[in-house]
């Protein structure tokens, strides 16, 4: 089959907006799907394009309109954006106004001093590359990927404001910021007339920093939403590692999950959580996703997938009844902060 013939086969599901809950991001007017799709892992050149394309299009058919990217995602860096740009051009171009496309800059993408950090040069030059990678005139959300303590926050915030003023971004966000620095950034952005839309922290049953450090409370007070990443703790909140480390899993080939964290303590706690999930008729992954989404400040949870089956399975987490107070107490007992993680 020729490329031209293949490109014409996709037609978006007509019922895509009936499948997923949408939530308002903080005090803004923007709604995001309860699940957003992240291209952090498995969307580089080391995975088959047709599989990646199939997953992206399935996500859109499920009502996932927000696709989260960064200049750093690959490998190599920028590969995930280029992959999405290819799918956008071939399959989703007519749906661009329905999509929320986000990208980030500031994490290292090369050896030079301008290929990292929160300077105006680094952020705005990266955004130009990202727009070319994605094949679009603007992104919906542009993030400062990580705080840069060597650059004045006013400069970083000023670059985000310029992106909006230049029409290259509609909203701005921050990621991995401490609550104190997030509050300061939100104030500066508010003064510039470009309110902080969203903050992207890591949050899961095993990583409760947004609860412990006050970020949940701050989000409500400052009026920004939270979109949480790693809600499944890099796969630790699935049934994958309950009996060891299967061949080919992330614990064997990822820089983000070390085999040595999968110890007896982890397995004991994860098994107990899995039993709670089974009693509810769902998987541990579905329980973990429901758990992060129970917080009103959490606008959306970022999920990835290596197959359409995995994507479908995770999205079905919303089909189950809300967690009861009794279940939440049990989850607190076994979902101990720091389990399986190197904090």
Q: Write out pLDDT tens, residues 150-200.
A: 999 999 999 999 999 999 999 999 999 999 999 999 999 999 999 999 999
DSSP 292: H
Question: What's the rounded Cα separation, in Å, for the pair 237 and 284?
Answer: 6
Question: What's the rounded Cα separation, in Å, for the pair 147 and 153?
Answer: 8
Residue at 74 is within a domain: yes
Helices 325-334, 264-279: inter-axial angle, 10-degree rounding: 170
- Domain span at residue 99? 3-200
Residue at 31 is within a domain: yes
Residue at 317 is within a domain: no
Residues 6+ apart with CB under 8 A from 210: 201, 203, 216, 226, 228
Question: What's the rounded Cα separation, in Å, for the pair 14 and 235?
Answer: 32
Question: What Å distances lie between residue 94 and 7, 42, 62, 87, 103, CA to CA?
Answer: 13, 26, 17, 12, 20
Residue at 272 is within a domain: no
pTM: 0.94
Residues 6+ apart with CB under 8 A from 158: 120, 192
Q: What is the CATH number of the domain that holds 159?
A: 3.20.20.100
* Tokens 């293949």, located at residue: 6
Half-sphere exposure (Cβ direction) of 10: Cα atoms closer than 13 Å: 24
**pLDDT 10s digits, 306-340:** 999 999 999 999 999 999 999 999 999 999 999 98
Residue at 332 is within a domain: no
Q: Report percent pLDDT > 70 for the chain.
A: 94
- Are the CB atoms for 157 and 183 separated by under 8 Å? no
pLDDT at 254: 60
Whether the predicted pLDDT of 3 surpasses 60: no
Where does residue 167 fall: left (phi above 0), alpha (psi -120 to 50 degrees), or beta otherwise?
left
Count of domains observed in the chain = 1
Of 142, 147, 301, which is closest to residue 226 (Cα–Cα)? 301
Residue at 170 is within a domain: yes
Question: What Å distances lie between residue 263 and 128, 129, 139, 268, 281, CA to CA?
Answer: 44, 42, 42, 9, 26
**pLDDT 10s digits, 93-135:** 999 999 999 999 999 999 999 999 999 999 999 999 999 999 9
pLDDT at 244: 75
Of 85, 133, 92, 136, which is closest to residue 109 (Cα–Cα)? 133
Residue at 81 is within a domain: yes
**pLDDT 10s digits, 244-287:** 776 666 655 666 667 778 899 999 999 999 999 999 999 999 99
Two structure tokens written together for 29:
């007017």
Confidence of residue 2 (pLDDT cuts 50, 70, 90): very low
Residue at 282 is within a domain: no
* Tokens 């630790």, located at residue: 236
For 70, list phi and psi in degrees, rounded to 5: -165, 155
DSSP codes joined into one string, 49-89: HHHHHHHHHHHHHTT--EEE--TT-TTTTTHHHHHHHHHII
Mean pLDDT of 217-238: 97
């Amino acid at each position: 089959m020729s490329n031209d013939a293949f490109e014409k086969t996709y037609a978006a599901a007509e019922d895509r907006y009936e499948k997923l809950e949408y939530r308002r991001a903080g005090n803004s007017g923007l709604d995001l799907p309860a699940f957003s799709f992240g291209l952090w892992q498995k969307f580089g050149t080391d995975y088959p394009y047709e599989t990646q394309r199939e997953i992206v299009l399935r996500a859109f058919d499920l009502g996932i309109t927000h696709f989260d990217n960064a200049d750093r995602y690959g490998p190599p860096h920028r590969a995930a954006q280029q992959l999405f740009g290819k799918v956008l051009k071939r399959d989703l171009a007519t749906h661009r106004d329905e999509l929320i496309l986000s990208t980030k800059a500031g994490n290292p993408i090369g050896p030079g001093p301008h290929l990292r950090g929160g300077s105006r040069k680094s952020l705005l030059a990266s955004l130009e590359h990202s727009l070319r990678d994605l094949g679009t005139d603007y992104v919906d959300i542009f993030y400062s990927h990580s705080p840069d303590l060597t650059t004045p926050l006013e400069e970083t915030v000023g670059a985000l404001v310029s992106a909006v003023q230049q029409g290259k971004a509609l909203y701005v966000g921050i990621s991995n910021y401490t609550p104190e620095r997030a509050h300061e950034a939100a104030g500066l952005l508010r003064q510039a007339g470009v309110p902080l839309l969203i903050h992207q922290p890591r949050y899961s049953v095993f990583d409760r920093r947004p609860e412990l450090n006050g970020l949940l409370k701050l989000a409500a007070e400052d009026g920004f939403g939270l979109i949480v990443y790693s809600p499944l703790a890099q796969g630790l909140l699935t049934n994958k590692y309950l009996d060891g480390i299967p061949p080919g899993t992330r614990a064997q080939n990822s820089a983000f999950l070390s085999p040595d964290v999968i110890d007896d303590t982890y397995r004991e706690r994860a098994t107990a959580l899995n039993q709670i999930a089974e009693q509810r008729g769902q998987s541990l992954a579905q329980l973990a996703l429901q758990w992060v989404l129970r917080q009103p400040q959490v606008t959306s949870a970022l999920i990835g997938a290596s197959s359409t089956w995995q994507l479908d399975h995770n999205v079905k987490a919303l089909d189950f009844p809300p967690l009861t107070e009794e279940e939440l107490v049990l989850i607190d007992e076994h979902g101990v902060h720091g389990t399986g993680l190197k904090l």
